[in-house]
Amino acid sequence: MADLVESVLSLFNTRLPFKFIYTNEYWMVDLGPHIFPIKKYRMLYEKLIARGARPEDFIRPEPASDDDLRLVHTADYVNKVLTGTLSSLELQALEMPFSSQLVQFFLLMTGGTIKAAEEALRTGLSVHLGGGFHHAFPDHGEGFCLFNDVAIALEKMKKEGRINRAMIVDGDLHQGNGTAYFFGKRDYVFTFSIHQMDNYPSYKQASSLDVELHSGDSDEAYLTALQPHFPRLYEEYKPDLVIYIAGADPYQNDLLSGLDISSAGLKKRDRLIIEQARRLKIPLAIVLGGGYADRIEETVEIHFNTVKEAIRTRRKGPQQLVTSLISPKQKIS
């Protein structure tokens, strides 16, 4: 069955419609025994290579510059991170073992999301095999997020005059509190977040639109809550660029999730967000966000499904979109 699905999708039989933004340096941080699955980046890369992607299909991002970081973060915070002088309280909020490798990891991840924004504006759709560190605030990091790559990328595009309006569609399990806080004072970005309310962060910031889910919510509740907003928000707000945080952590087998959402439910989410933007010719950059399934392969599979949806949508082009490329008989299980 898997072979049939792959042949139907013909993922890599012809040239890929875009390059992935990724570097092997993403998984070279030693976090010790930590719930953050740093290996998922490498595993996703290897899965894509195994399915026929070539090394030249991947673009290595440049690390973000100090100036990039200061577009969102305070000079004091940037200085403390770069000189390794965060206080013990600040390190506690970050919930990750701090090291110079970790700083490099986040500099590259931030550069990767900047590159993804540029590529989306250039080609219409891009995929960063990383990114989505939406809990970082201007003056502190928290919840595994040192720098807010999404906010930095949008601020940079705005400052360079490449966009007037943007939207963040945050599908991670956790509310995008850092981005909601930052853009709460800047009206050029619409922040949308669908998340589990009874979960981290305990204090939620106000996004432009928050859609609230609760423990035990299933695919039906999830998709019923999500569907009324797309393409409605795209049509009403008319963003020049969307950054989509395609978090894998709302998944039912995720260690941090209380939701009961299946991998098939997350596929439907991806299709709605990606395809509707494409139909309206709105550039969209995808970043991965979180994912903490007990079996790391399941997290990787969910991210892989997002990538497949991006490839399929991009290949269809804006004119020929249909609800599903695959007939019901060939439906992916």
CB 52 within 8 A of CB 10: no
One of 40, 133, 290, 308 touching Zn ion (CB under 5 A): 290
Toward Zn ion, which CB reaches closer, 172 or 301? Answer: 172
**Residue 174 touching Zn ion (CB under 5 A):** yes
Taking the CA atoms of 148, 151, 154 and 160 in sequence, report the sign of the dihedral they define: negative
Cα–Cα distance, 143 to 36 (Å, whole number): 10
β-partners of residue 283 are none
Nearer to Zn ion, 110 or 257 (CB): 257
Q: In what order do the strands lie in the sheet with 209-213?
A: 58-59, 20-21, 125-128, 284-287, 241-245, 166-170, 189-196, 209-213
Q: How far is the CB of 172 from Zn ion (least distance, A)?
A: 4
Pick 176 or 283: Cβ nearer Zn ion? 176
* Total chain residues near Zn ion (CB under 5 A): 5
Amino acid letter, residue 185: K
- Single residue of 173, 213, 248, 287 touching Zn ion by CB under 5 A: 173
Residue 293 interacts with Zn ion (CB under 5 A): yes or no: no
Residue nearest to Zn ion (CB): 290
CB of residue 288 vs Zn ion: minimum separation in angstroms?
10
Task: Mark the segment that binds Zn ion (CB under 5 A) among 71-79, 103-111, 228-236, 245-253.
Answer: 245-253
In whole angstroms, the minimum distance from the beta carbon of 311 to Zn ion comes to 24
Instruction: State how far the alpha carbon of 265 is from the alpha carbons of 226, 272, 322, in Å.
Output: 11, 11, 19
Q: Which residue stretch of 5-13, 58-66, 107-115, 172-180 sits at the interface with Zn ion (rule: CB under 5 A)?
A: 172-180
Examine residue 249 and tell whether it contacts Zn ion (CB under 5 A): yes
Residue 50 CB contacts under 8 Å (≥ 6 apart), including other chains:
none
User: What sign has the CA pseudo-torsion 288, 292, 295, 298?
Assistant: negative
Residue found under tokens 């609760």: 214
- Work out how close the CB of 77 gets to Zn ion at its nearest, in angstroms, rounded to a whole number: 22
Binding letters toward Zn ion, positions 119-158, x by CB under 5 A: ----------------------------------------
Beta carbon of residue 209, minimum distance to Zn ion (angstroms, whole number): 18
Smaller CB separation from Zn ion, 111 or 290? 290
Part of the chain binding Zn ion (CB under 5 A), chosen from 107-115, 191-199, 271-279, 287-295: 287-295
Q: Whole-angstrom Cα distance, residue 253 to residue 201?
A: 20
**One of 172, 219, 254, 260 touching Zn ion (CB under 5 A):** 172
Binding segment (CB under 5 A) for Zn ion, from list 56-64, 67-75, 171-179, 215-223 = 171-179
When the beta carbons of 295 and 329 are compared against Zn ion, the nearer one is 295
Please state, in angstroms and rounded to a whole number, the distance separating the CA atoms of residues 320 and 327. 15
Cβ 330 to Zn ion shortest distance, Å: 33
- Which range of residues in 4-12, 81-89, 188-196, 288-296 is near Zn ion by CB under 5 A? 288-296
The SS3 assignment for 292 reads: coil
Q: Nearest Cα to 128, choosing from 189, 45, 191, 28? A: 45
Q: Which two tokens stand for residue 158?
A: 């705005």
Contact partners, residue 283, CB within 8 Å, separation at least 6: 120, 121, 124, 125, 240, 241, 242, 277
The residues binding Zn ion (CB under 5 A) are: 172-174, 249, 290
